[in-house]
Chain A
Amino acid sequence: MQTYFYQLADALCGQTAGSETLLLYLQGEDSDFVRFNKGTIRQGGGVKQIDLSLDLIDGQKCASMSMSLQGDLAADIAAATFQLSTLRKQLPSLPDDPYILFNTDVQNSEQIAESTLPDTSDIIDTITETGKRFDMVGIYATGRIVRGFANSLGQRNFFSTAPYHLDWCFYAHDDKAVKNSLGGFEWNTNAFHAKVALAEEALAVVNQPAKTIDPGEYSVYLSPSAMCEILDMMSWNGFSARARELKNTCVLPMMQSGATMNQAVTLSQNTAGGIAPAFSPAGYSLPDRVTLVDAGALADPLVPPRTSAEFNRPVNSGGESPNSLEMAPGTLATEDILTELDEGIYCNTLWYLNFSDMPAGRITGMTRFATFWVEGGQIAAPMNVMRFDETLFRALGENLRTLTADREFLPSATTYDQRSTSSRHLPGAIVDNFRFTL
């Protein structure tokens, strides 16, 4: 695929003339998806897709096109050449764009991850065999993902990875379930069975009569997965330089009213530790790390090229939100979580978050899978779902009691349009006086 892309890029970039610059960004995958319900298969199939974005720039004008490719070099050169000529014809009629910015410092790179995944059919056998014993629902996704950048200045970057992701639940009854996931570059049947055994133990607890709590304030343990949901909300506009410049951000209280987060909170875009490409669609090599919140205080925002040009800040990102977010760990040992929580809610999963007052950083959402009531440092009962409504600055500020020493690496299971290469690396947290409302 790398050779194909570079040959395609050579053919297209060779067509630029005069002061034109051409940027190319390739996204492709050859994936298998198998969807399960009740331990059986709901849908299974394969998807091959290749997409090429072309940005033709001449002076202050830019025309962009993304197009699907066939994977056949001669046919794709012909189709992309046609689109390139269309862009060239459009350029004179387009308005000037004062915010065009792209990398002119040629930086070539290759990131190619090897993988030894077995055939999908073998995985289906393993999963359905296990699934017979459970009410299992979920998805297995696997196959190669590629990204590539090229420009007419001679830069070439290529990224190729082939991870798998199994994301599933064992259901007890109604909405009571235990959620689990497994991902990586090498399938390990023993690791799968170990997760199944742990989930089976949790399922026994989930099957017990559920407790419904009254609305009010409770201490809560938020697992790394639950923390991921909260920080994903913050990522909507909390780390964006543009959002901060325009005061349209959930961290406005930190900018205007002196609000801070707890000193234990340090957040980074850790490109070096993630699984996403280290180059951007505009050809910039991304810094290994950008510190976003440093010991509770706002640090650098993320600045993609267009925002850089508009607000005169240096580029440090491909987009306005992090795709490899990391939170610094705390000190609480995993085995001490229940003891430290003592009484409250052990929350494995949060769900369907949204801002209930965005400029105040207030978020609402639901508890979901495997959420338990804890008494005397012991899990006492599974809980019925509850709605919370709480600000970032209370939860990750004055009310943040502690973070766990262990963190979880959470690759995104998102597959809208294509499989995601985003990830999160996060600890769990104990938060006091967390507000539940319904």
Chain B
Amino acid sequence: MSEIDMDHLESLFGDITPAVDFCSLRAVTTRETHLSVKRDVCDPLHQSIDSGVMITVVHGGGLGYGATCDLSREGLKRAAAKAVEFAAQTAGRSVVDFEQITFPAPIGEYCSAEERPWEDVSLTDKYDYLRKACARLKNDDRIVDWGTSVTRTIRDTLYLTNHGGRLRQEFRFTAPSMSVTANCGADTQTRSLGGLQANCHQGGMEVFKACNFKRAPHRLTEEVIALLGAENCPTGTMDLLLAPDQMMLQIHESIGHPLEIDRILGDERNYAGTSFVTPEMFGTFQYGSELLNVTFDPTIPHEMATYAFDDDGLEAKKEFLIRDGLLVRGLGGLTSQHRSGLEGVANSRASNWNRPPVDRMANLNLEPGDQTIPEMIEQTERGVLMRTNVSWSIDDSRNKFQFGCEFGEKIVNGKIVGIVKNPNYRGISKTFWQNLAGVGKAETVGVFGTPYCGKAEPNQCVFVGHASPTCRFTNVEVFGGE
């Protein structure tokens, strides 16, 4: 199978739809191209085309799905029959009576904004661009590994319901990446462009410019060599400044995941975990200081998880999850909202055609404040400014965390006094955000994301976006390496 003929699929839908209360068809075609240069040698060009359909049936209170790569009429009928079979098996013994949920019949379209189309640049020119950047990363004998790459993804989706719903959404992602590793004896240090594919965005070639790809090699090589000679990050309780390429991880793990309503309802307890957040906390729990404002915002043009509708057909719009520090809304789609009675958002998302949608983050952003970075440094008597996530670990209630960064700068008496390596910090979500003491202005905001948010059984990896300014926290337990 190559790409799906969506029009043909649409013409088949009426014929293969079983006589049930609700039926939807979700078709996904994903085309991906990966170009990579490692240590000045181009890896083989890798491309993929993946296509398939999931048919979901609600009948008699049960819900079942059948997913297939067989897009013939007979293949679709078999998938529909599988969905019917599972709906029958689950009826009367599901977590909820699905008949009580009104699935929407949405009509709409969405296409990613792309200022400079990927196709306008030839394959040869793209390789040349990556090769030149890669070559500039190797400017010291201590540099042992270096590389550049870009992943281009186009995802075309069709969603149909037996009640007349019809959605077409086309996503265009570009994710450039760069890293350099240096070694000296028993020490190895790495610097990268924002972390593991963190510069993933919707858009085309303009994404390279947005992440300063061309100028990055000089900065990264300087920093990685400096890290080899740097002192270890100090140990103690102190102030912590986090740049946007670490804030994204902090938001993701200690706000995003705990607010997923399916976690709160217990669905994830066997795998991704539960949550310290309970239903009673919405509207009453002060999640952080009054400086903390967090939004679910699927409307920002180039952020990774921007879309018009989620995979259950719910229209997506911006909502505050935390306003002035108060927890006001959770991350739950249609089914979770019905099950919990809580207000949610349009975040029922599937990683692909072969996995059913569940509650996911999308774009989860920390709204800007009123401080400049120099002001936040000046307010810090003793602390560390950390950049670029490299390590992440948090308990299954999303409470006790420990995160590490690639690069740290020590602050003493309001001034940066030097680079420190192996910067780590740990804390507890429930109290960490109370110590948010400074939020950067809009010009300090960085927009990042990840294609690797894992969750659910069967497992699903989805893309999410996180935009945040630089932030300052007080009383954080900071430490370094061995």
- CB pair B90–A252 under 8 Å, yes or no, is no
Residue of B nearest to A171 (CB): B269
- CB pair B43–A389 under 8 Å, yes or no, is no
Tell me which residues across on chain A come within 8 A of B459, comparing CB atoms.
414-416
Q: Measured between alpha carbons, how far is A175 from B264 in the docked complex, in Å?
A: 11
Distance in angstroms from A250 CB to nearest chain B CB is: 10
- Stretch of B162-170, B181-189, B285-293 that contacts chain A: B181-189
- CB pair B89–A387 under 8 Å, yes or no, is no
- CB pair B396–A385 under 8 Å, yes or no, is yes
- Stretch of A93-101, A152-160, A338-346 that contacts chain B: A93-101
Question: For window 247-289 of chain B, which residues contact chain A by CB distance below 8 Å?
Answer: 265-267, 269-271, 273-274
| Size range of the chain A interface in the assembly | 35 or more
Given A46-B66, A415-B457, A438-B402, are A63 and B44 neighbors across the interface (CB < 8 Å)? yes
- Fill in one digit per residue for B205-221: 1 if any A CB lies within 8 Å of its CB, else 0: 00000000000000000
Q: Measured between alpha carbons, how far is A47 from B54 in the docked complex, in Å?
A: 8
Distance in angstroms from A437 CB to nearest chain B CB is: 7
Q: Which of A66, A100, A141, A310 has the most CB of B within 10 A?
A: A66
Distance in angstroms from A422 CB to nearest chain B CB is: 13
Tell me which residues across on chain A come within 8 A of B454, comparing CB atoms.
416
Tell me if A194 is interfacial: C-beta within 8 Å of chain B.
Answer: no
- CB pair B395–A248 under 8 Å, yes or no, is no
Given A64-B44, A67-B48, A71-B70, are A366 and B188 neighbors across the interface (CB < 8 Å)? no
Q: Which of B266, B352, B358, B480 has the most CB of A within 10 A?
A: B266
Contact of A415 among B1, B190, B265, B458 (CB under 8 A): B458
- CB pair A72–B394 under 8 Å, yes or no, is no
Distance in angstroms from A102 CB to nearest chain B CB is: 11
- CB pair A49–B69 under 8 Å, yes or no, is yes
Q: Measured between alpha carbons, how far is A142 from B188 in the docked complex, in Å?
A: 43
Distance in angstroms from B464 CB to nearest chain A CB is: 16
Residue of A nearest to B2 (CB): A79
Q: Which residues of B contact A (CB under 8 A)?
A: 1-2, 41-52, 54, 56, 62-72, 75, 79, 82-83, 85-86, 89-90, 93-95, 122-124, 127, 131, 144-145, 181, 183, 185-190, 265-267, 269-271, 273-274, 352, 354-356, 358, 390-397, 400, 402, 404, 422, 424, 426, 428, 454, 457-461, 477, 480-482
What are 15 A-B residue pairs whose CB atoms fall within 8 Å in the complex?
Answer: A40-B95, A43-B356, A45-B54, A45-B356, A49-B52, A49-B354, A51-B50, A71-B69, A71-B70, A94-B45, A97-B41, A99-B41, A257-B186, A387-B393, A387-B426
Q: Which residues of A contact B (CB under 8 A)?
A: 31, 33, 35, 37-38, 40-51, 55, 62-72, 75-76, 79, 82-83, 90, 93-95, 97-100, 120-121, 124, 128, 135, 137-139, 141, 167-169, 171, 174-175, 177, 179, 246-249, 252-253, 256-257, 310, 351-360, 362, 364-366, 368, 385, 387, 389, 391, 414-417, 419, 437-438
